Amino acid sequence: MSSLQLFRHLRSQWPRVLAYSTAANAPKVLQDIPEMPPHDFKPEPHTGLSFEHAKKVRKGNLHPSLLTYYREPVYVTQGHMQWLYDDTGRRYLDLFAGIVTVSVGHCHPKVHAALDKQLKKLWHTTNIYMHPNIHEYAERLTEKLPGDLKVVYFVNSGSEANDLAMLMARLHTGCFDIVSLRNAYHGMSPYTFGLTAIGTWSYNVARGFGVHNTMNPDVFRGPWGGTHCRDSPVQTIRKCDCPADCCLASDNYVEQLKDVLRHTCGKKVAGFFAEPIQGVGGAVQYPKNFLKDAYAAVREKGGVCIADEVQTGFGRLGSHYWGFQTHGVMPDIVTMAKGMGNGFPMAAVITTPEIAQSMSGVLHFNTFGGNPMASAVGTAVLEVIEEDQLQANCVNVGTYFLEELAKVRDEFQIVGDVRGKGLMIGVELVTDKETRNPLPPNEVGDVWEDMKDMGVLVGKGGLYGTALRIKPPMCITKEDVDFCTAVMRRALQNHKEKYGL
């Protein structure tokens, strides 16, 4: 059998492979597997449900729409900072962070201690009563927002937050039409179903009443864009036709938005949704000034502008605390979730006093939003981001990561694009750089599976599922980056040996 076949055969016997891979007589495909960065944490032995039993339960008792990653799923039983452990004690470098949710690290000791302390005092009381935590957290959180973004409504998930933001926009403006970008993901509630405009997430049912999706300003895959368009250490390899003093790509995409506003909306609109960098869509970045001009066009039609910070907020982009700040814009409503709780289910909508007042005419209530446990966790997360200097880490390690991945892109024909900012990174796989056609799903799967089998977990995204999504806990190190890029090179080399690309 070939060295690649041997690798695929032996990888299920991983502890023995690790010992064998450093031997002088090991095949090159195994010798090239790097060692993981050292880590002194020792996971507890797993004593719960067996992996085989869990697979039976998942097949028979959990809803079939529940996605399971990998041909042989990872059975995660414990986590510590940027590391995950399975039921056998095997360690994985987690570069997807529970879908961009574990911001400061799995089971971070300070966040864990804050929750443990609160659990001993008070688990829950609804906000018809007052408790200290929600008020302390609301003050600390809104201090992080600029301008008049000072009024917060706590909920439990990003979908809930975007759902509520839609309601706020419609109540405040007295209009119904809302615009979002194609390739955007804003949730899967019945209300947000129309905002999410990725075909692979769309059931064949009536949806999106009152929501219009405009062309996605994707400078890699869209009709316009090139080498100077993005606010990123790494630019797309497409040549740019824009003169030095302006971005024609941005102008063209804004004109598409204006066309939607003219033809499919009424005289006024309720609002416009956009992620600062698209998450599920594959870390897609817009050309410079697109959001600034898009906000202006929407406000000319009477609408409010909503920044979806569910994946980009809390310092992940490095240069700024919030993603919208990287675009030089001021939204009217900001939604957030995921990283704000480091894995605890919590989310929020923050807006201005004027817009918040639009909801005061009737009762509106969320049973668990801002509960004592969530508020304690959220406060601890804010403190850890500052104390551990994680925003600075996103700049330093994230920029290094992007630059190293750009080297990988230049080495392999199937790596079409590397993009992102801070620790919000996408790597798009293609058949070749010239056509930018999507790499077939089975070939993407081979690369993705090999990276997992070598100990690195990344996500997938984009319309075609060809973008490797790298959004790790913000505590990762340059040593972790070196390990990941070495593993990715090996996986890409495996692909080249198998398919000749």
Segment 251-261 shows an average pLDDT of 97
Does the pLDDT at position 3 exceed 80?
Answer: no
Indicate left, alpha or beta for 160 from its phi (over 0: left) and psi (-120 to 50: alpha).
Answer: alpha
Edge-to-edge order in the sheet of strand 459-461: 415-421, 424-429, 467-470, 459-461
Confidence at residue 4, expressed as pLDDT on a 0 to 100 scale: 52
Q: Extract the tokens encoding 196.
A: 């999410």
Calculate ∠ Cα 395-291-97, nearest 5°: 40
**Mean pLDDT value of segment 120-141:** 93
CA atoms lying within 13 Å on the CB side of residue 309: 31
Place of tokens 């059998």: 1
- Residue 274 has a pLDDT of 98
**Taking the C-alpha atoms of 473, 321, 290 and 214 in order, what is their torsion angle to the nearest 10 degrees?**
60
* pLDDT confidence tier of residue 246, bands split at 50, 70 and 90: confident
Domains and CATH numbers, the chain: 34-100+390-499 (3.90.1150.10), 175-308 (3.40.640.10)
- Answer whether 421's CB lies under 8 Å from 326's CB: yes
Share of the chain above pLDDT 70, in %: 93
In the block, tokens 């010992």 appear at: 19
DSSP code at position 424? E
Q: State mean pLDDT over 443-463.
A: 96
Instruction: Indicate the SS3 state at residue 278.
Output: strand
Helix-then-strand count for the chain, H and E:
15, 15
Compute the distance between CA of residue 334 and CA of residue 227 in angstroms, rounded to an integer. 30
How confident is residue 23, by pLDDT bands cut at 50, 70 and 90? very low
Give residues with Cβ within 8 angstroms of 35, minimum separation 6: 483
Q: What is the pLDDT of residue 15?
A: 42
* Mean pLDDT in residue range 480-485: 98
* Span 176-226, pLDDT tens digits: 999 999 999 999 888 898 999 988 888 888 778 899 999 999 999 999 999
Position 240 scores a pLDDT of 82
Structure tokens at 347: 């989310």
Does residue 67 surpass a pLDDT of 60? yes
Distance CA 156, CA 163 (A): 11
Give pLDDT, residue 445. 96
Q: Compute the distance between CA of residue 6 and CA of residue 173 in angstroms, rounded to an integer.
A: 63
Tokens of 295: 């906000």
Mean pLDDT lowest for which of 61-75, 292-306, 322-336?
Answer: 61-75
pLDDT of residue 5: 53
pLDDT over 60 (residue 231):
yes
CB distance 158 to 187 below 8 Å = yes
Phi, psi of 416 (to 5 degrees): -85, -35
Tokens of 169: 């926009």
Long-range contact pairs involving 364-370 (C-beta distance under 8 Å, separation at least 24)? 365/126, 365/127, 366/127, 366/153, 366/154, 366/155, 366/156, 366/160, 367/126, 368/124, 368/156, 369/127, 369/153, 369/154, 369/155, 369/156, 370/127, 370/133, 370/134, 370/137, 370/138, 370/154
Query: How far is C-alpha 344 from the chain's CA centre?
Result: 16
Residue bearing tokens 């996986």: 491
Q: What is the pLDDT of residue 31?
A: 52
Alpha-carbon gap, residue 25 to 470, rounded angstroms: 34
**Mean pLDDT score across all residues of the chain:** 92
Angle at 487 between CA 486 and CA 490, to 5 degrees: 90
Assign 32 a pLDDT band (cuts: 50, 70, 90): low
Contact 43, 78 (CB under 8 A): yes
Give CA–CA dist 215/183, Å, rounded.
Answer: 9
**C-alpha angle 461-464-469 in degrees, rounded to nearest 5:** 20
Q: Is the pLDDT of residue 382 over 60?
A: yes
- Residue 191's pLDDT is 86
Residue 195 burial (CB count, 10 A) = 28
Asked which of 200-204, 311-315, 317-321, 324-328 is least confident by mean pLDDT, the reply is 200-204
Strand stretches in 341-500, DSSP E: 347-351, 415-421, 424-429, 456-457, 459-461, 467-470
Alpha-carbon gap, residue 301 to 446, rounded angstroms: 48
* CA-based radius of gyration for the chain: 23
Whether the pLDDT of residue 157 is over 50: the answer is yes
